[in-house]
Structure 1
Amino acid sequence: MIRILVTDGMEKNAIKALRAKGFEVVEEFYETKILGEKLEEFDVIVVRSATKVRKPIIDKAAKAGRLKLIIRGGVGVDNIDVAYAREKGIKVANTPNASSASVAELALAHMFAMSRFVNISNVSMRQGIWDKKKYNGVEISGKTLGLVGYGRISRQLAKKASALGMTVIYTDIIGKVKDADEYEFCELDNLLKRSDYVSLHIPFVKEQGATIGKAQLDIMKDGAFLINCARGGVVDEVALIEALDSGKLSGAGVDVFVEEPTKNEILINHPRVSVTPHIGAATKEAQVRIGSEIISIIYDFFK
């Protein structure tokens, strides 16, 4: 029997469907120090962002020779040493289509929250403070949204922002995208200079460090907003706090952090920050789609 280990949770109907097809599914989170040994007993591991599948774990699994497939339920695979796993003959797959709409909507939610002080006024009112005159916000209609990275999530966000009356510009490592003629392509520095809102949709590459650091924040428009629903590490958190404190940025929407759970209390308690605990894909609809994609990957692999 093919055994599947689900470490970070999975939509319940998807698990039922796998079991109905004769797969054995074990739902259990294992600490890093014992995960490699446990993988000697499984053909597939399904992870989200909490479980890290690094070289030592891959080595133990590869030595046993049973593990054939690692699936990331979500888009980013930076918690998996992908190239190393493939060198060891283990396939790595993700579910890039399932959560695009959910992450795009969260980015938009942060934009609204910052623009109209939903984040901080919600807190102050619960403290009995009526700061009506203090919260003079801005409309997003008529503003320019700069998308850093133009993949599936950015495409979803671009459509939604355009419908709300925003001008969308984008940059991408591959250059101008063929099917994005309705939006203007520009280089990163130009995008940062022109955008009222900058939303990041790029992976974190440890060797390259933060894509948005002090130099990039200095280039941005005075009073602009920064949204990161991509990956922790793509923004220098220290430089971000400095930009918020100085008023260079009017606000930041942050769903992902360098360390998770984050211990950066200055950032999460900053009055100019709208913050969420890495919930970009945490919608019922996205979880159903992720489950369906995982099922398809497993079926196709073992058919």
Structure 2
Amino acid sequence: MMAFGGNKEGVLQRGNFRQYIRSYALVIIFLGVCAIFAIASPTFLSPTNIVGVFRQIAINGVLALGMTLVIITGGIDLSVGSLMAITGVVSAMILENDPNMLAVALIVGIGAAAVVSMWTAVLVAKMKIAPFIASLSTMTIARGIALVLADGIPHTIKNAEYSQIGNGYLWDASLTGGVGFPILVLILIVIAVITTIILYNTKFGRYIYAVGGNEHAAEASGVNVVKIKFWTYVLNGVLCGVAGMMLAARITSGQPNAGDGYELDAITAVIIGGTSMAGGSGKISGTIIGALIIGVLDNGLVLLGVSSYYQQIIKGIIIAVAVLLDMKTKKR
């Protein structure tokens, strides 16, 4: 009996250990990647580089948070990069006319991305068009709008306060040995807190999960599926606008070709973070860690002198592995 009891206890312990590993797999992977690059490159753990990594992931982090909401509903949005470009162009052109209209430039720029995202929202929610096709349409339209508005050329942002959003710190970095806290990172933290509250502490957030888990069951339970999908895509558009504002401030110009390819990093961060492409499950914390993993990979590979071409190959492999793991988990 004692032997039997001991064996049972061992099985339970092994089960608990596996559950622990699964629960903290992302954190373990992140720390493992950091350890590898710390050994391979002596500059990886320098304070300046660490701050640079966090600043680097801030824009993609905001994009990925919006993408998380969309993917939880069972959708996807390929237009995020184009929406970012619209925000940058609109903001820059407003400031060209009057450099003092900072608030107007921010509000109208972000609002422009939200308005254009309504095209995807209508196509997906009301017209029942597949999100991939609908957002592909919006991606093309939005990029065209950005090019038309900007006349195909970059527009310099003529406002120092706007530029500070992308390049400034909360305090003078020289006072702390050259290491400051980037404003971009603060924006990411604020957006992460807001999306966390929306997703976990509001009826709207619960309905997002319900729609992604089983759309027909949610509708039968009284959930207005059309409304939830519509406003999820619009909210994603708002976050694309915020990310576009951050990027424009970082490069100090509104460029009609800005944000090209950003959808890949956003989707990768969400998938690595454990959000199911089938919808119905996902965590904000997972997406943040996913964005950190992508940022650390990009930074570490650059420090090691790996070509950006190979970086794209590595990201593609990561996406495939993450989806396969998600499928394997769903079968259990």
TM-score for the superposition, normalised by structure 1: 0.26
Relative to its length, the structure with more helix (as a share) is 2
Instruction: Point out which structure has higher relative CO (alpha carbons under 8 A, 6+ apart).
Output: 2
Relative to its length, the structure with more strand (as a share) is 1
TM-score for the superposition, normalised by structure 2: 0.25
